[in-house]
Structure 1
Amino acid sequence: MFTPAVRTPLLLLLPAPSTPWMLHGVCPGLEQSIGGDLGTAGKCHQSWLVCVRGALGPCGVTAGAGQALRCVGLFFFFFFFFFFFLWYFFEDVFAQNRRELLLSLRQEFRYPGEASQKQLWTGKELCCDSMLHRYRHILGLWQPDIGPYGGLLNVVVDGLFIIGWMYLPPHDPHVDDPMRFKPLFRIHLMERKCATVECMYGHKGPHNGHIQIVKKDEFSTKCNQTDHHRMSGGRQEEFRTWLREEWGRTLEDIFHEHMQELILMKFIYTSQYDNCLTYRRIYLPPSSPEDLIQPGLFKGTYGSHGLEIVMLSFHGKKAKGTKITGDPNIPAGQQTVEIDLAHPLQLPDIENLRDFSELSRIVLEVQEQVRREEQEREQQQEEQEHSQQAASQPASPLGGEGAEGEETTAGAEGKTQDKASASQPFVLPMGVISRNEDYPRTCRICFYGTGLIAGHGFTSPERTPGVFVLFDDDRFGFIWLELKSFSLYSRIKVPFQNAQAPSREAFDEMLKNIQSLAT
């Protein structure tokens, strides 16, 4: 009884039939109701809507209860068919518009990496696609808490995933090579209610993981299937694989015994953090037109410790280099070098520069001058404190002296910028060790600076004099006088997104936090 009711509207959807026998035996009530009118409709080629209108009326009045039920079923069939047709049509239109929008966003917000031209999405595109996804706050740069070693994590939107890429320096001592990176975790963006988190560590593919947002600028990751991190060959195979990835060589290629101990120590320490890690947000340093060069992230040589990542930032008359990755001597977060921009150094000619004692004499003279200036500054501060307790009349001369000092400083900065535009020959003094002999042979300007050295475990830290050498906009060096060592730094040319500090105060607070955690 239900089959004719289903077949009837399929025939009625066709153009008006030319003969009445097409409905014979299909719906007798309908045939009796419209009779010869069907032939007339076929001859006149009336639309199928007229047939439907004529069918629904008589069937409900003249037919019996069964025919009435068939007509009701016919009505609901047309209703749901029409609703399904509208949904299918407009869903396709909306999907097409959404694809066009995402395509335009992808073309607008390209993320060209340094080592590969990957097209990644930014946080703005994430908000458009995921409707305020719960994990949007973890986009940007982070420093993992791996003891003294630290690290650099960049969380971005890549296709339909949020991926955390761990950035690694190039193999020692190739400081000018591009950065390496590997995925640590990824989050599927397709799920709306409960996003899928996968751990990417190891060599067995993605597996189950978990992310917990501790607070605004801190989150942690946990692997729920640590067996995916293990290799069939045991710890020895894991160590050989890690050594090839981290250093690009085998243990037999490293002849220095102390360096072998440092490498083995790092492997044992970092392998303890393969199942759970905590990350803290870091910002790129803000820049200003008065800066000597563009601040940012650099990779530098640190002797047997290999290449490490350093953040160069400017603070008035000072420039600071803060470690983002570290070692057991100077851990991540500590201020590795400090440059005194108010005391440029005039290097001797190229022949005398090869003499280490001559360079040492020049630097020690500037160090003594800096010490005297600091003592005078302390005395002036004490005098100002006494003068504030006296009457307000003597305050005017002090203000004039302050303005005079500012003019002198501004004049010194102007001379420094003029000197930085010219280049002069440069060569390392005899006896100074450099991991990379392919350093520039000309420099723009040199400044007096201090470098932080310490024993194993950051014991007995002290600042020792050194020379900051600016080669160009993307490279600088530092001569450690006491260690008779030279570190070469090269800029990391990766356009990190969502990494700018909201303010200078927020950046300074970030530096204090990572340094206090390292201490």
Structure 2
Amino acid sequence: MNILDLPPELITVCFSYLKGTDLARVAQSCTLFNEISSIEKLWQDRCRKEYGLPTDTKLNVSFKKWYEKVLHENGSIVGLWRINTTCYGGLIHIWYTEEGDILAEEFYSQKDVHEKLLQKELFCVALDEEKNVQKQWLANCLVPQPCEIHVYKDTRVKDKFSVEQKERKKSAREKEQEKLMFLEDCELRGTHRELCMYKWQSYKQNQFKQSFERIDPSRFEPVAKVPIQPGLFKGMYGGHGTEIVHLYYTSDGSSGQAQKISGDPNVPSGEISIRFDIDKHMVLNKDQQEFKLLSVIEADDEETNIPYKPEKMDRQPFVIPSDIMIDNRNAVCPKYCIARFHGKGTVSPMGYRNPTLINIHFIVFSENQFGVLWMDLHSFSMFSRVEENFPALR
């Protein structure tokens, strides 16, 4: 039996299993296949299944045209990303507008880690009135600028892409306006003024090309029998201001770590900032939390080392020692925690030269809050879960 002898309805069902690129190929084989492969529902399903385009998107062209012009070349960049151009990094969410345009936005924390993230548009991909693809860079410029998106086809770097603007001359007024916009943005994050200028110099050297690395979505999956679930958290890093980290666990759930999504010249984006072991759990009373006593408690101390069993653990008192500095002055520190672990934190001089692991206490207050007591630095940092809903993670 020849496939051409089948009813068109059955051929349509067969075609629904083809990828968009294969659907376009079979359309060239004969008139019947061309007609069936042009059915809009087939292309709507391809846009949804291959690139996650919501079914209620209000396109001003057909789904077939949108697939061919926009998604086939650029749809793979939809998702959650980390800027890896410089040490500062950044959290980037790329998703669709109601009209189907691809919009990239940076999300960053304010001085108060309990507040919602701020966001700004980075670049977009859309069709103009003549149905031609337009790619525009939007961030830190007074007028949107044309840009090119380079998606790496090599499977070894499939989770990376870059965006490049054409270098151009700017007027003195434009340069000054862009600088003011950039510095205002830095100060919203709680960055000290002199470090804002340092960041500005780094930005100027890399402003025409930005590279991105995908944040592994599998590291957001729930994990059993851990004190706090994986996710994105925001916390203060001294004069560098607030930064975002990604907390996740090893495959066996025996240890956790927090990778910097946004970073600084001391510990850059992409590096591991915090590590802790589930089997190095401790229970302390108030009297044991004076710094002189805390600093001598070892991970194998029999008195304080209590195996972590989430179903049997009671909350324990939490006290910040009097000689410990709190990184975020606005932080409201709880009086109790639900778990406390020995761990290691990464510190380094500027330029990430000779990074060192120092002792820390990783302290869980709730499902949405943890703290880090940096023993050698005599400082304490509060971290709050990022509550924003990112459709790319669904």
TM-score of the alignment, normalized to the shorter chain, above 0.5: yes
Normalising by structure 2, report the TM-score. Answer: 0.74
Alpha-carbon deviations, 1:288-347, whole Å to 9, x = none?
Answer: 233322201111111111111100001221011111111111111111111111011111
* Superposed counterparts of 1:54-453, under 5 Å: 122-125=52-55, 129=63, 130-131=66-67, 133-134=71-72, 135-160=74-99, 161-170=101-110, 172=111, 174-189=112-127, 194-215=132-153, 216-224=158-166, 226=168, 232=173, 234-235=175-176, 237-248=177-188, 259-284=192-217, 285=219, 286-315=221-250, 316-349=253-286, 351-353=287-289, 355-362=290-297, 365-366=298-299, 412-413=307-308, 415-419=309-313, 422-436=314-328, 437-453=331-347
- The answer on whether the counterparts of 1:344 and 1:416 sit within 8 Å (CA) in structure 2 is no
Closer, same or farther: CA 337–271 of 1 in aligned 2, 3 Å = same
Tell me, in whole angstroms, the C-alpha distance in 2 between the residues paired with 1:201 and 1:222: 13
Instruction: Give the secondary structure class of the aligned counterpart of 1:366.
Output: coil
Moved more, 291-300 or 213-222: 213-222
Tell me, in whole angstroms, the C-alpha distance in 1 between the residues paired with 2:165 and 2:174: 21
Closer, same or farther: CA 238–206 of 1 in aligned 2, 3 Å = closer
Closer, same or farther: CA 459–149 of 1 in aligned 2, 3 Å = same
**If each structure's strand is expressed as a fraction of its own residues, which one has the higher value?**
2
- The answer on whether the counterparts of 1:169 and 1:179 sit within 8 Å (CA) in structure 2 is yes
- The answer on whether the counterparts of 1:464 and 1:480 sit within 8 Å (CA) in structure 2 is yes
How many residue pairs were aligned? Answer: 328
Percent of pairs with identical residues? 28
Tell me, in whole angstroms, the C-alpha distance in 2 between the residues paired with 1:453 and 1:248: 24
Instruction: Give the secondary structure class of the aligned counterpart of 1:455.
Output: coil
Instruction: Give the secondary structure class of the aligned counterpart of 1:333.
Output: coil
- The answer on whether the counterparts of 1:478 and 1:486 sit within 8 Å (CA) in structure 2 is yes
Closer, same or farther: CA 265–367 of 1 in aligned 2, 3 Å = farther
Q: Which AA in structure 1 matches 2:125?
A: I
Alpha-carbon deviations, 1:125-171, whole Å to 9, x = none?
Answer: 4799323622110100112223211111111011231111111121x
- Matched with 2:349 is 455
Closer, same or farther: CA 123–227 of 1 in aligned 2, 3 Å = farther
Alpha-carbon deviations, 1:354-390, whole Å to 9, x = none?
Answer: x21111122xx22678xxxxxxxxxxxxxxxxxxxxx
In structure 2, the gaps of 5 or more residues are 1-39
Instruction: Give the secondary structure class of the aligned counterpart of 2:222.
Output: coil
- The answer on whether the counterparts of 1:231 and 1:238 sit within 8 Å (CA) in structure 2 is no
- Matched with 1:375 is none
Closer, same or farther: CA 367–332 of 1 in aligned 2, 3 Å = farther
Instruction: Give the secondary structure class of the aligned counterpart of 2:247.
Output: strand
Per the TM alignment, residue 473 of structure 1 is displaced from its structure 2 partner at its CA by 0.5
Where in structure 1 do 4 or more consecutive aligned residues deviate above 6 Å?
A: 190-193
Instruction: Give the secondary structure class of the aligned counterpart of 1:498.
Output: helix
Q: Which AA in structure 2 matches 1:498?
A: A
Per the TM alignment, residue 220 of structure 1 is displaced from its structure 2 partner at its CA by 1.4
- Matched with 2:30 is none
Tell me, in whole angstroms, the C-alpha distance in 2 between the residues paired with 1:162 and 1:213: 14
Moved more, 264-273 or 174-183: 264-273
- The answer on whether the counterparts of 1:208 and 1:224 sit within 8 Å (CA) in structure 2 is yes
Per the TM alignment, residue 456 of structure 1 is displaced from its structure 2 partner at its CA by 1.4
Normalising by structure 1, report the TM-score. Answer: 0.57
Q: Which AA in structure 2 matches 1:322?
A: Q
Instruction: Give the secondary structure class of the aligned counterpart of 2:392.
Output: coil
Bigger CA radius of gyration: 1
Per the TM alignment, residue 443 of structure 1 is displaced from its structure 2 partner at its CA by 1.2
Alpha-carbon deviations, 1:384-410, whole Å to 9, x = none?
Answer: xxxxxxxxxxxxxxxxxxxxxxxxxxx
In structure 1, the gaps of 5 or more residues are 1-96, 103-107, 109-120, 370-410, 501-519
**If each structure's helix is expressed as a fraction of its own residues, which one has the higher value?**
1
Per the TM alignment, residue 178 of structure 1 is displaced from its structure 2 partner at its CA by 0.6
Instruction: Give the secondary structure class of the aligned counterpart of 2:202.
Output: helix
- The answer on whether the counterparts of 1:123 and 1:498 sit within 8 Å (CA) in structure 2 is no
Aligned-residue CA RMSD in angstroms?
3.2
- The answer on whether the counterparts of 1:148 and 1:331 sit within 8 Å (CA) in structure 2 is yes
Q: Which AA in structure 2 matches 1:275?
A: F
Per the TM alignment, residue 202 of structure 1 is displaced from its structure 2 partner at its CA by 3.1
Q: Which AA in structure 1 matches 2:163?
A: T
Per the TM alignment, residue 208 of structure 1 is displaced from its structure 2 partner at its CA by 2.0
Tell me, in whole angstroms, the C-alpha distance in 2 between the residues paired with 1:301 and 1:493: 17
Closer, same or farther: CA 243–249 of 1 in aligned 2, 3 Å = farther
Q: Which AA in structure 2 matches 1:232?
A: R
* Superposed counterparts of 1:481-500, under 5 Å: 481-499=375-393
